[in-house]
Amino acid sequence: MMLLDDVTAATEILQPWLPESRPQLAIVLGSGLADLAWQLAERQTIAYDDLPGFPASGVAGHIGQLHSGQLFGRSVLVFQGRYHCYEGYSAWQVTAQVRLAAALGCRQLLLTNAVGGISARLQVGDFMLVSDHMNIGNESPLRGRPEREFLDLGNLYKQDFYISLQERLEREKISLQRGVLAWMLGPTYETPAEIRALERLGADAVTMSTIPEAIVARLCNLQTVALSCITNLASGKHSSSLDHEEVLASGTGATEKFQRLLKQLFEVWLGSE
């Protein structure tokens, strides 16, 4: 079996493992945000490498575990870590968690990530609701796949609740902006010249993940929300050098704020469903 290409065998193992209240929402946790998984009630856990075709996580901050449990009164699946193209995986392979969530019956998907802030509106510790994306990496997870379709990516990210959510978060003293996320392949951080180019193109933040997952989520008819934590300012926007350990520390430092944000997000996004 090719790693991460087919999730059928993993789905068969997980079907009897799932709780009776089948999760409708899957959450993919990005760098520094892994602690959310420990907040699940009735949590049960399985390591990625205990699933056929799923390797252990190879990036610091991505623990590599799948959890099921209750979060803010909702039955959820939580993927504690993701795969990245810079590890050598294809754009299709890095979407394995999304395909697995869809195969297990989830209908909503929350993608989270740690990103570099480009827009002057964004400061370290802020959160950004993704309104659109730029596939600067120019890789499609559907390229060459039998599943390929001419997908309409307009309105890919659900955001119609933004104003209501922002009003709630202002009372919580949590800053939530809305913006465009650019995807670069990594693993190097971008150069100042690249950041200037992205800024001119209209990008508000930059990531090394997420975009392939969102595309496949549309293929799987998953309602998708993407939430970015600004863990650093992009190259050229600050005087210090970029460091992954600092990114992880910034994400971990935002854990309590992240949990309060998600509680409000669940209410405005899922409250009526």
Cite the active site residues. Answer: 31, 62, 84, 86-87, 114, 208-209, 232, 244
Q: Give the separation between CA 49 and CA 37, rounded to whole angstroms.
A: 18
Using DSSP, state whether 61 is helix, strand or coil. Answer: coil
Which residues sit opposite 77 in a β-bridge? 26, 68
Question: CA-CA distance, 29 to 146, in Å (whole number)?
Answer: 28
Which strand (E) or helix (H) includes residue 200? helix 192-201
Question: Which helix or strand (DSSP H or E) is residue 227 part of?
Answer: strand 223-233
- State the Cα–Cα distance between residues 250 and 68, nearest whole angstrom: 26
17 CB-contact burial (10 Å; exposed 0-12 / middle 13-18 / buried 19+): exposed
Specify whether the CB–CB gap between 136 and 194 falls below 8 A. no
Neighbours of 119 (CB within 10 A): 19
Measured from the Cβ of residue 44, the count of other Cβ atoms closer than 10 Å reads 12
Angle at 216 between CA 107 and CA 41, to 5 degrees: 40
